[in-house]
Amino acid sequence: MTSDFNDELVRRMAALLEETGLGEIEYETKDLKIRIARPAVQMTAMAAPAPAPMAASAPAASSASTAETGEAVPSPMVGTAYLAAEPGSAPFVQPGSKVAKGATLLIVEAMKVMNPIIAPRAGTVKAVLVDNGQPVEYGQTLVVLE
């Protein structure tokens, strides 16, 4: 059984777990099964810092109140938010941008798949509530439209 152990596979899976923010990942073949999971305490510690700075900073607090008067666009998955198509490119949108229904607002990467987050309707971007490269949770408000 020791001969089946693939150190590189375990390292790649652990890196993928870290990248995506997932709680666990499993890989199985006919002869091998590998499961890597974060301790629940570590997952809580990872999630806790993100809301604290948002609540503490004045701009984020005003952005939170804007969510009440606009249409929130939530993340449909856990992943990493990217505001531009590639590093160094202009962001898809920023506050004040006019968007058409179906326009890409940002991308959420999950398990090496780039998922465009599209505008549910035409409007103006009131706020972008995530930073480039920031881990996001399912249901977290990413953008507010007015």
User: pLDDT digit string (tens) for 83-117?
Assistant: 998 888 899 999 999 999 999 999 999 988 899 99
Tens-digit pLDDT profile for residues 130-143 = 999 999 999 999 99
Q: Which amino acid is at 90?
A: A
Q: Cβ distance 96 to 82 under 8 Å?
A: no
Q: Which helix (H) or strand (E) covers residue 17, if one does?
A: helix 7-20
The CATH number assigned to the domain with range 71-145 reads 2.40.50.100
Tell me the pTM. 0.54
Cα–Cα distance, 43 to 47 (Å, whole number)? 6
pLDDT in tens, 7-47: 788 888 888 777 777 777 777 888 878 878 776 543 443 44
Q: pLDDT tens digits for 38-92?
A: 765 434 434 444 443 333 333 444 444 444 578 999 999 999 999 998 888 899 9
Domain ranges within the chain, ordered by starting residue: 2-44, 71-145
| Torsion, CA 111, CA 105, CA 121, CA 143, rounded to 10 | 90
Calpha distance 87→94 (Å, rounded) = 16
Residue 35 confidence (pLDDT): 79
